[in-house]
Structure 1
Amino acid sequence: MTDTSNRGDGGARPTASSDATQTASTATSSGITVTECSKRYGRTNALDHMTATFEQGKIHGLLGRNGAGKTTLMSIVCNHSFKTSGTVLIDGADPTENAEILGRTCFIHENQRWHDVYTVGMILASARRFYPTWDEQQAQTLVQRFELPRATRAQKMSRGQRSALAVIIGLSSHAEYTFLDEPYLGLDATARGIFYEALAVTQAEDPRTFIMSTHLIDECAALLETVTILHQGHVVIASSVEDALATAWCFTGMKSQAHQALSGMDILSESSIGAMYSIIFRGTPNAGQAAALRSGGSGELRHATLQELVSAIGAVEPQADMRLGSTANKAAEPTPEPTANSTANLQGASL
């Protein structure tokens, strides 16, 4: 732990990017690389030969349903837990019991705990001494914006106040690698708006690596630059948000028409209410399929939202192989354009 209490508010705050330049051995080794990483708890595989990369200087979304392996992965990278097998590297170095590497990380949990007698002011003072890149001005500004009483003890804080304090530490730490494991779930809509704005501003002023786990996906989708979606300890999708959504679709209409028109698509989830049917699928419908699904005016075909895509993947049956690169998980190739006769048949069917 580095004591920076004598630095003074007027001193220059070390930037995460300058630390990265001193540490990274080569440009290609920067960022986080996870290779064939497994974590077992008895007979349960929390992570199963997972491989993923997180490029430096971006906001990454780590998404998936509860139990998918998000917290386990972040805990292993931050040395809060030990992997069963595989490798994890930060800037080309193993973070396991590596004080220099771990000193550039900040891991904030959903259920972040502090000693009951500590006040908000005491916790923030400790954080300032712990993180050498701490931004005291930003911390004080966020305390005011979240209306967080500095004299309140931890045992008296509401869930919303605990979440606000966790967010303040995560943003003000200016750690080069900051992991946010849903600490903002306790925030109300107004406070979450403050958090999203502060995250965007701090990233613009001092770009660093954020890995965010959240179930409020559509709220923060605009902030994410990449998305890594986990399912049962495997990586299902790892790409930019734009690429992930480019082949993700939602159709609402008649079931019979959907099954006829979407032959060859990778269907992720289906649901129905009465005669209305909704389906989330991956692939690239050709012009004939799209026209057939939209014909009659009663069918709607649109790109799925990120929330819908993650929810659909989470609903896939446990026995399905959703691993990135597996045959079952590959988005369907664009279906060849139908012949004139088949197009007439598709477009003639009623929705």
Structure 2
Amino acid sequence: MTLVGLIAAASAIHAWRLRPQLLDSQPPVAAERRHWRLVRSEPLIGVAVLAAVALLVAFPLPPRQLGEADDALAAQPACDPCPLPKPAADELPVAGQAGSEVVAGWLRRDRTGLSGTVRVSDIRGQPSRSGIDVLGATQSSCGPGCRRFRLPPAATVRVGVRDRGRRFVAELPARWRQGDSARARRLLRSAQARMRTLDSVRQTEEVTSGPGSYARTEYRLQAPDRMALKTNGGVQTVITGERQWLRTRVTPWERKSYGSGIPFSLRRWFRWTTYARAVRLLDRRREGGRPVAELALMDPATPVWMRMVIDERTGRVLRERLVTKGHFSTSRYFGFGRRTRIEAPVVG
């Protein structure tokens, strides 16, 4: 458990040190994507390199800052050698987890039911060789890790996958508000802008790469340029502008420079529009008496899928679920504007 927490922290810090270098003005999208492919290709950290926890990457974190999406862009290669298609205007792109594998769907709805394509990829992003079954559907193969299917009307599409000798079932939402994609994009942009104006916020993130791996990180974020985090493995980090400090359960606080001269920014932490090559409005409902909207986002070139819940009254993001190869995370945001104080630790 401790090692998993250290792995997650190392991944985050590596990403934070590299990402700001790409954030000065508007760097080329292609260069940013090469950066993140490199990040995700680095190997897992072993116990022997525990002392270098802040320098290596284990959990492949998807980019938060890749530049604003353009819904008119064509599909781009997303994995080698299996480029993923950009969803058509009448398709819902969603993804879930089955063991360590990504189960992604391109869903269509008509009067008689649901149809579409399901693609399953392994932890490396390659087409899965596992057994795949779209439960209750008429289906046919469309290549390795791929099924075309037809279902009666349903609220979810359930996909069974065998991964490392165990059977898992991923459930994909199959109801959305067709024709409301423009509204969904407006909600997304408004929520991102609102989150960037916060004085402070807290975030809890739970992340796994599949069965047997788990890390939980608690973040405190304070405008304009401060962050403090603590993992369930006992790793702690404090960042103030261009400075950062790190300690573990077995090492004291150590000061490091941050961001190659580009300071941490709370505004840069919130950049969901990078995932918005396709945006769909899944639902509008009430939770705890407040109106919320649930969105589905996809970028086929990373590739990454997200679902997020937005409080329509305040414009704040409440929850997000992120799926990409080797990384399944759930985040909750709370403590909006709550008084917090993040100070540099005493290094003795």
TM-score range, shorter chain: under 0.3
Larger radius of gyration: 1
What's the TM-score once normalised by structure 2's chain length?
Answer: 0.23
What's the TM-score once normalised by structure 1's chain length?
Answer: 0.23
Instruction: Select the structure that is richer in helix.
Output: 1
